[in-house]
Amino acid sequence: MNEVGRLLISLAFAGAGLTLAGGGVIWSMDEGRRVRRSLTRVLGEAPHALLVAHGRGKGLGFNFTANQLALTWDAGGWCLVYKIEELIGAELAVDGQVLARVWRGEARRALDMLRGADTQVTFRLIFDDAAHPDFVMDLWLPEDETRKGAMTSAEAVQEANRWIARIESLLRRPLPRREAPVVAPASAPPPPAAAAPPSPEPPVAAAPPRAVEPPPWEDDAEAFDDDDEADAIT
């Protein structure tokens, strides 16, 4: 009996441990927590404002201290980080029709009436980015009615309208002044090196004077003169 009791107690503890471990895994893998962890990682701290599209794996968060906005999708698998000044507008669409909108430098188009939706509630952000010009989040779809803890269509419209007001307050801020980059003046090219003077040519040695020999007829002339003088004497 004691052995059976110990076995039952061991099985109970093992079952409780497995239940706690499974619950911890499910808790950590919750879509909203994964989105929050991903945004916290790229922003450097917990988001100061957070919006999650449950069931779609998308979310966005602000870090007002660092003046940054982060987007994530695939339940935190991918992220993009922008400066807040790169955000140029936001739109709220209900059943494919834009009901509220705010753009930088323009007056806000306020939501006329709060009502639910039949097919879709969409919140869209627009950025000054040619590669990723916008980010669309479906805050409510018809299948959300059967999902536990999901917002109703009217609650999704109200939440998106609050974010339109938040985006408007950010777009009213003056853009930070960007200092022109300081470019160092181009240094003048060094002057060309002076050409080396030509080396003097070595002096040409003077040729030794040549001995001038008298022409052969001078000897004959002298001999002729001597004979003439002898004839004259005789």
Per residue in 180-199, pLDDT (tens digit) is: 566 666 666 667 766 666 66
What local confidence, expressed as pLDDT, does residue 163 receive? 95
Is residue 64 within 8 A of residue 45, CB to CB? The reply is: no
Domains in the chain: how many in total?
A: 1
- Is residue 157 included in any domain, yes or no? yes
Q: How far from 179 is each of 13, 56, 64, 176, CA to CA, in Å?
A: 66, 41, 22, 9
Residue 143 lies in a domain: yes
Q: What DSSP state is assigned to residue 175? A: P
Domain around 146 = 16-172
pLDDT recorded at residue 179: 63
Ranked by mean pLDDT, the top range of 22-31, 186-195, 214-223 is 186-195
Residues 92 and 113: their CA atoms lie apart, in Å, by 12
Burial of 50 (0-12, 13-18, 19+ CB in 10 A): middle
213 in a domain, yes or no? no
What is the average pLDDT across 100-124?
88
Helix (H, G, I), strand (E, B) or coil at 218: helix
230 inside domain: no
Residue 207 domain-assigned (yes or no): no
Does the pLDDT value for residue 228 go beyond 70?
no
Instruction: Give the sign of the dihedral formed by CA 170, CA 173, CA 175, CA 176.
Output: negative
Evaluate if pTM is beyond 0.75.
no
Q: What is the pLDDT of residue 30?
A: 79
Which pLDDT does position 176 carry in this prediction? 72
**Dmax of the chain from CA atoms?**
191
Say how far apart CA 96 and CA 91 lie, in whole Å.
11
